[in-house]
């Protein structure tokens, strides 16, 4: 069961933050900011309390035994350490074992998993584990590449730097040729 976001609590917290940094939350430019931020958090955290794996419940029997890859699935998630966004792309591949799913379902899984506060490493593993579990694959590979606002606009301030994480399951982990084919396809020419 999905929990409702407490918009009033978020609005009060944003007012407190604005006051704490020396701003006047009642000035014309900021009056609606607490409401806007509450709506933004409701949207950014809409992946909490949902099961992204439900998108993988519709499958089709198919004796296809080669790689299925959807690459460049864009996402924005929220770093749980600073509550700042990280934005990038996910490349998702699997080798079916008697059944396939709709290609858009892989993108839906990435989208819903990304809509929660987390670290990129966990997001990458969660996507791989859901696909592997729900589709009973011969193998799954997920690579995420993202720019983190917590590194680009604060702290070290290195815009353009990207973090790349991977999660390999089954044949992608055990078979070097399959892993190399996957890496070639995601890094090769468009």
Q: Where are the beta strands (DSSP E) in the chain?
A: 59-61, 68-79, 85-95, 99-101, 117-118, 139-148, 163-170
Q: 34-90: per-residue pLDDT in tens? A: 999 999 999 999 999 999 999 999 999 999 999 999 999 999 999 999 999 999 999
- 132 has pLDDT over 90: yes
Catalytic residue numbers, as ranges: 79-82, 120, 148, 150
Q: Give the tens place of pLDDT for each residue, 139-178.
A: 999 999 999 999 999 999 999 999 999 999 999 999 999 9
Q: Is 144 annotated among the ligand-binding residues?
A: no
Helix (H, G, I), strand (E, B) or coil at 96: coil
pLDDT value of residue 2: 57
Using pLDDT thresholds of 50, 70 and 90, give the confidence band for residue 188. confident
Residue entry with tokens 């992608």: 172
Q: What's the pLDDT band for 189 if we cut at 50, 70, 90?
A: low
- Residue 122 phi/psi, 5-degree rounding, is -70, -40
Cα separation, 50 vs 137, whole angstroms: 23
- Sequence-distant (6+) residues with CB within 8 A of 124 are 90, 142, 143, 144, 165, 166, 167
Query: Which residues, at least 6 apart from 13, have a Cβ–Cβ distance to it below 8 Å?
Result: none
Q: Rounded distance, CA 81 to CA 83, Å? A: 6
Q: What is the pLDDT of residues 33-43, one digit of tens each?
A: 999 999 999 99
Residue 55 DSSP class: G
Q: Is 79 annotated among the ligand-binding residues?
A: yes
SS3 state of residue 22: coil
The confidence band for 25, taking pLDDT boundaries of 50, 70 and 90, is: very high
Q: What is the pLDDT of residue 30?
A: 98
Any idea which residue has 């940094």 for tokens? 21
Q: What domains are defined for the chain?
A: 7-45 (1.10.286.10), 52-187 (3.30.1130.10)
Answer whether residue 3 shows pLDDT above 80: no
Averaged pLDDT, 116-121: 98
Listed in sequence order, the residues at least 6 apart from 153 whose beta carbon sits closer than 8 Å to its beta carbon are 84, 159
Judge whether 82 is annotated as a binding position: yes
pTM here is: 0.94
- Supply the pLDDT for residue 190: 52
Token reading at 80: 């749980």
Predicted local confidence at residue 39, as pLDDT: 97
């Amino acid at each position: 069961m999905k929990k409702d976001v407490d918009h009033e609590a978020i609005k009060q917290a944003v007012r407190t933050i604005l006051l704490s940094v020396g701003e006047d939350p009642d000035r014309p430019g900021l009056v609606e900011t607490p409401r806007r931020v509450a709506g933004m958090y409701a949207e950014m955290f809409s992946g909490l309390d949902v099961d992204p794996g439900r998108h993988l419940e519709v499958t089709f029997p198919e004796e296809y035994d080669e790689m299925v890859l959807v690459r460049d699935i864009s996402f924005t998630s929220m770093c749980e350490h600073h509550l700042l966004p990280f934005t990038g792309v996910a490349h998702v591949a699997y080798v079916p074992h008697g059944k396939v799913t709709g290609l858009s379902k892989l993108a839906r899984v990435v989208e819903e998993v990304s809509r929660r506060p987390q670290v990129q490493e966990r997001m990458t593993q969660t996507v791989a584990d859901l696909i592997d579990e729900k589709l009973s694959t011969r193998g799954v590979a997920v690579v995420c590449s993202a720019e983190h606002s917590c590194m680009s606009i604060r702290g070290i301030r290195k815009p353009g730097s990207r973090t790349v994480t991977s999660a390999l399951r089954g044949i992608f982990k055990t078979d070097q040729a399959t892993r190399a084919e996957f890496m070639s396809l995601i890094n090769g020419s468009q």
